[in-house]
Amino acid sequence: MSKHSLQWIAPSTLKVQGVIDEDVLFEPSIARFGSEAVVDFSGVTRINSCGVRQWTRAIAACPARIRYVNAPALIVDQFSMVPEFLGVNGTVESFQARYVCSACNHEEMVLLAVGSTVAKGVAARGSATPPPHACSQCGAPADMDHNPDVYLEFLSHMA
């Protein structure tokens, strides 16, 4: 059984799931991108450097406007560390971040929407501010469990 799957869940929405490594061939799916495509990486469980290369190579010459939705933390790390991962015309619409409650230690993944819950654009280093989130269990303020300067770096790649 394949460790990954590439599935069209809507006419222009590609859902990528499983392990992204050297075995994933993105080209046939990307060839079906029209002028605009939506990519949902939320089902990705692991990605290695070969997988990162498979994706960045496949989309390097793709002129489509790619909108990323529900990006999980392991993909957000790529957006921020590897600017080519977004592609020439890519924008992140929504992504996940881990929050830990300061009062009850409850951990949860929160979906953040770029342009509403978090602003895009360049934040000066040291001044990136994670959007506030109230714990779903007790309502106390929760803290984003990532270094905001590193994790939110991608917001300045798509200003």
Select 103 or 122, whichever has its Cβ closest to Zn ion.
103
Pick one of 97, 135, 144, 152: the residue that binds Zn ion (CB under 5 A): 135
Size of the site for Zn ion (CB under 5 A): 8
Nearest to Zn ion of 88, 138 (CB atom)? 138
Those residues whose C-beta lies under 8 Å from the C-beta of residue 99, and which sit 6 or more positions away, are 107, 108, 109, 110, 133, 135, 142, 143, 144, 145
Write down the least CB distance from residue 11 to Zn ion, Å. 40
- Of 27, 43, 35, which is closest to residue 11 (Cα–Cα)? 35
Map residues 80-109 to x or -, x wherever contact with Zn ion holds by CB under 5 A: ---------------------x-xx-x---
Is residue 14 exposed (0-12), middle (13-18) or buried (19+ Cβ within 10 Å)?
Answer: buried
Binding site for Zn ion (CB under 5 A): 101, 103-104, 106, 135, 137-138, 140
